[in-house]
Structure 1
Amino acid sequence: MYVPFETLGELGDTVDVCVIGSGAAGVSIAVTLSRQGHRVLMCEGGDEIFSERSQDNYRGEIEGDTYIPLETSRLRHLGGSTNHWGGVCRSLDTYDFTAKSAAPETAWPISHDDLSPYFTAAAELLSLDPIPADEPIEGAEIQRIHFSLGTPVRVQHKYAEMISESEHLLCCLTANLLGLETENGHITRATFGNYAGKQHQVRARYFVLACGGIDNSRLLLWCNQQTGGKLIPQADTLGRYWMDHPHATVGQALIFTPEALGLDETYNVFLSPSEHALESRQMLNCGLRLHRMNAEAAQALIEELSTQAPTLGEQIRTWQADGRVIHGAMLRAAWEQEPRFENRVELSEELDSLGVPRSRLVWTQSALDRHTIRESLLLLGEYLLEENIGRVQLADWLAALPVTLPTDGELAGRHHMGGTRMSHRPEEGIVNTDCRLFAQDNMYVAGSSVFASAGHANPTLTIVQLALRLCDHLEQRLA
């Protein structure tokens, strides 16, 4: 049930878990633990619906490569960025959790098997469509992969009744985290403020920070500064190893044998390199997306190809005369970004309306990031050429070396990952394998900020799997 901000200070010692944030991770944890009978307080800094006063706190600075303005790449009200989530979903690949030879920093301290038990519950929570198994393509080092592409769930709507009526789940809006107090490695109180300048303190047995892939870092940087480093004594990696999935239109293709890729049955086909290809080509993971063109666009592409390769053009015309359908495809991609210490969230000198320093994002794409997307397209092109089932035309920016990345268009997936990296040791990350701050007995971090690497898949399903795994851990501790 909803509780007014003015009553936060009256809750005393009754709260088992205080969840800070109400996006995919926060709602998953709050709903799951409250269903188990635990008293959960979910504090959301925004309003129930979009408001400028809340969203403005997401403004920040960007340094490095061209990126999406920070205030438009996420949402700050009940439900968080699930309110503009597109619903495209799959788990990370098994080998995404391992050290890729091109970038050993991609290794996670947990494995794919540690998250697999939470797939079914996460899929139900997100109302996902069934995701078919991936399919190797014979003779190729690429595979056909699948996503859930159903109607995206809006968690604030799906769980509206529970949030409104549950006696175990308390939801407080406009409750913005301003500070954390720690004593002997234990968070004793969290301070929240609203837009009227009022403040209240909350006590809880456990705290979970779930404010997204930028603000988890920003708030911990700020709180750590206020405590003189007592919150996170070893903070060298705090805000570091930040990642997104670069996105771009990367070319177009003619497919002479659409059934070889499944493009005869559907308008959209998804491909990715095999694990062996990542090793042999010294690249990271990538998701290629083939979007079937209409007949007129495909014919225009055939005519363009015919001027460049007359013999092939004549063969295509013969095939068409015999009734063969040649499909054109627009090629788009989302690829894995190398986890690098230099990419980071840090505090700006400018304060937001609540008195908290705004974010400054330092983000550049590396030579390996560029190599990954170029090799992915070459991999597809070589397969189509060798089997004579199609041809690829690289986008101009990708055809020439060195690769110069686009400065307009999609740019990235708005998938904010890293910054509070999961690791085995505090010298290498911010949270342990249970997502707990190393130096605090009762403070956890949830969401994609704990990702050690990104793979190519949209992160929402993995976020919820991690959140449900954290719920199991907290359930054991609460018991």
Structure 2
Amino acid sequence: MHVDARQLLDQATLEADVAIVGAGPAGITVAQELMGRGLTILLIECGTFDRPEPYAEDVARWVELGIRDTEKHQCNRRVGGSTWYWGSHARPLDPIDFEKRDWVPHSGWPVSYAQMAPFFDRTLDLLELRAMAGEHLAWDAREVPDMGTTDWPEVCFPLNRFGAIEFSQRAAAMRLLPGVTFLTSATVSDIRLRADLSAVDHLVCSTPSGSKVRVHAARVVLASGGVENPSILLRANAQIREGIGNERGLVGRFLQAHPTVECPFRFLSDFSIPTALQIDWKRALIGNISARREALRGYAFAKLALAEKTQREHRLLNSAAALAGFHNADATKVWDDLAKFLTDYGAGLDNDGAEKALRQFGVRMPHLLRALHNMRTRQSQVDYFFNMQIACEQAPNPESRVTLTDDVDALGNRRPAIDWRLTDLDRRSAKRTAEVLGLAFEVRGLAEDDLRDPILDPAWPGRMHGGFHYIGTTRMGHDASTGVVDANAKVFGVDNLYITGCSIFPTSGHAPPTFTLVALAARLASHLRGDKADRLLEPRVGALSANTR
């Protein structure tokens, strides 16, 4: 069923067994995994099933206090959530990401990779990757026959797979099923606890029409992303001044965002890049995201990363590089690159991305100059270049955080602020990772560094950008002194309030978060079902109903 909150009477009340705040991949997965058990499930979404509404776009805005990231507007307030931008890039976190590493402050998950493994396996089906991968479903390129990778002990070749899941279409099908209701145009503006503060009594939702809606549920799951999850808790301060779950001041802290840097290299021979390491740019750069997902269905490519042994030896964070931008820097290519810059720059003038365009052109400049030199001297030599685009793990840092401002959005809720900060460990690790990965080519006589390392630039992180991922802001912990939620994703001190999504990751690794957050959502649904214990959740509500206008 679908209920538009704008059609409800002011102060209307809805009841459900499970209320899920956010209809993105995490929320949709929890609902999907709970269906068919006689439960009433209510998914609450700020936006609608259709194009973004102006009020929803305003609600999605935040204020930047720390590092300026011009590609920040990746929060889509409509059914399907962030997957409207997601290219279906999927990979689980690595085993080392779950470990306590003595060189990484605040590292270590309260769950292990082994405990997550069954849910990683389930996610292969939820994202339809198993059906597309065929018999060779591996996460390391060296495990796949004929991939052509070389056995270099200092590095590994993590495989990244692509599905073609449209979560918005999955949600559209789910709303036709009994027991599942989508409440759209509703934004949670407050959480009210019972008198003893032990559990959620009800949610208060704001609507663009100005009315309020109450939601009562036996279990409440926040699944609204790395910025909105902590914001909801911080806004809920009528009964607890610091906000729900924030008695230790941890809500919103430890923000991580996968900083990404580029390091150009030049091949010294006719070395052929292994097929496994080549990105199919013809498919990967298709403008329409749905068409791109379809074109990439079943596709896999490998990145270049540091082996666990190398990470431990050099005390580095877990990062991985895509070998991107292969091209022949002869005279015929210079005009293509120049046109690409002008296109980027022109687009930047319209969408606040000019800084990014200039940064990208700065990386390409040596290739253009070399090509112009070849034109002038009529050299016949052909040089081949590539960029290592390194997606860096960021160390958890309590000073990197989400807070609330005094500014209010279109619905009257306080707007969040992002104060994204990097540490010396982040910089040292990114620099050393680039050196080690580059050296893997150089010592074999295959390539050399073609440009002063941008990570050495005194202006760094000015030539770095974030990875669109907002991670760690309601992190899992062993207890309330180390996290906001426990190993079962329940908020410490609140019996029926849960959080899911990448905001509960204690550390970020280098993998895009969608695969792991879907696995965590499936794990939470398993916990709510009580698969290995007495049932935690018994149906209590019949058909969901509400007063309408």
- Pairwise CA distance, 1:210: 0.7
Change (3 A) 1:302 1:201: closer
The match for 1:133 is 139
Change (3 A) 1:332 1:266: closer
CA deviations 1:316-372 (Å, max 9, x no partner) are 97xx9xxxxx85322212110110010000010111122211001111221111112
- Contact 2:277/2:322, CA 8 A, preserved across alignment: no
CA deviations 1:112-164 (Å, max 9, x no partner) are 1121101233222223343533146534311111111344x22011332222x
Change (3 A) 1:435 1:263: closer
**Cα RMSD after superposing both structures:** 2.8
- Contact 1:182/1:230, CA 8 A, preserved across alignment: no
Counterparts of 1:421 and 1:351, CA distance in 2: 26
- Contact 1:236/1:427, CA 8 A, preserved across alignment: no
Change (3 A) 1:211 1:255: farther
Match of 1:175 among 175, 186, 194: 186
Residue correspondence of structure 1 range 107-146 to structure 2 within 5 A: 107-128=108-129, 129-130=132-133, 132-135=138-141, 137-146=150-159
The match for 1:288 is 321
- Pairwise CA distance, 1:23: 0.6
CA deviations 1:74-125 (Å, max 9, x no partner) are 1111111111111111000000111223214121111111211012332222
- Contact 1:245/1:336, CA 8 A, preserved across alignment: yes
Residue correspondence of structure 1 range 29-108 to structure 2 within 5 A: 29-49=30-50, 50-68=52-70, 70=72, 72-108=73-109
- Pairwise CA distance, 1:392: 3.1
Tell me the amino acid that sits aligned with residue 460 of structure 2.
Answer: T
The match for 1:206 is 219
Structure 1 SS opposite 2:303: strand
Change (3 A) 1:203 1:105: same
Q: Comparing 377-386 with 37-46, which one deviates more in the overlay?
A: 377-386
Q: Comparing 182-191 with 469-478, which one deviates more in the overlay?
A: 182-191
CA deviations 1:192-221 (Å, max 9, x no partner) are 121111112111110001111000011101
Counterparts of 2:277 and 2:43, CA distance in 1: 48
The match for 1:430 is 484
- Contact 2:402/2:473, CA 8 A, preserved across alignment: yes
Tell me the amino acid that sits aligned with residue 154 of structure 2.
Answer: E
- Contact 2:45/2:186, CA 8 A, preserved across alignment: yes
Counterparts of 2:140 and 2:268, CA distance in 1: 21
Match of 2:169 among 124, 143, 157: 157
Structure 2 SS opposite 1:218: helix
Change (3 A) 1:29 1:150: closer
Structure 1 SS opposite 2:415: strand
Residue correspondence of structure 1 range 338-417 to structure 2 within 5 A: 338-394=395-451, 396-398=453-455, 400=456, 402=458, 404-407=460-463, 411-417=465-471
CA deviations 1:251-288 (Å, max 9, x no partner) are 23316474674468765641110111111212101110
Counterparts of 2:385 and 2:241, CA distance in 1: 59
Verify: 1:329 aligned to 2:386, yes or no.
Answer: yes
Tell me the amino acid that sits aligned with residue 423 of structure 1.
Answer: G
- Pairwise CA distance, 1:418: 1.1
- Pairwise CA distance, 1:65: 1.4
Counterparts of 1:340 and 1:265, CA distance in 2: 34
Q: How many residues matched?
A: 457
Change (3 A) 1:81 1:147: same
Structure 2 SS opposite 1:113: helix
Structure 2 SS opposite 1:171: strand
Structure 1 SS opposite 2:321: strand
- Pairwise CA distance, 1:7: 7.1
- Contact 2:478/2:486, CA 8 A, preserved across alignment: yes
The match for 1:323 is none
- Contact 2:234/2:243, CA 8 A, preserved across alignment: no
Match of 1:278 among 290, 308, 311: 311
Counterparts of 2:278 and 2:425, CA distance in 1: 35
Structure 2 SS opposite 1:204: strand
Match of 2:496 among 419, 435, 442: 442
- Pairwise CA distance, 1:472: 0.4
The share of aligned pairs that are identical, in percent, is 26
- Contact 2:318/2:392, CA 8 A, preserved across alignment: yes
The match for 1:311 is none
Counterparts of 1:7 and 1:142, CA distance in 2: 60
Match of 1:468 among 518, 522, 527: 522
- Contact 1:213/1:417, CA 8 A, preserved across alignment: yes
Counterparts of 1:150 and 1:79, CA distance in 2: 15
TM-score by length of 2: 0.77
- Contact 1:248/1:334, CA 8 A, preserved across alignment: yes
TM-score by length of 1: 0.88
Structure 1 SS opposite 2:139: coil
Counterparts of 2:444 and 2:236, CA distance in 1: 58
- Pairwise CA distance, 1:228: 3.3
Change (3 A) 1:12 1:63: closer
Tell me the amino acid that sits aligned with residue 96 of structure 1.
Answer: D
The match for 2:28 is 27
Change (3 A) 1:263 1:116: closer
Structure 2 SS opposite 1:293: strand
Structure 1 SS opposite 2:157: strand
The match for 1:218 is 231
Tell me the amino acid that sits aligned with residue 253 of structure 1.
Answer: R
Structure 1 SS opposite 2:390: strand
CA deviations 1:279-320 (Å, max 9, x no partner) are 121210111011262344599969959x9xxxxxx9x97xx9
The match for 1:310 is none
Counterparts of 1:150 and 1:32, CA distance in 2: 19
Counterparts of 1:366 and 1:181, CA distance in 2: 37
- Contact 1:377/1:394, CA 8 A, preserved across alignment: no
Tell me the amino acid that sits aligned with residue 2 of structure 1.
Answer: H
Counterparts of 2:268 and 2:89, CA distance in 1: 25
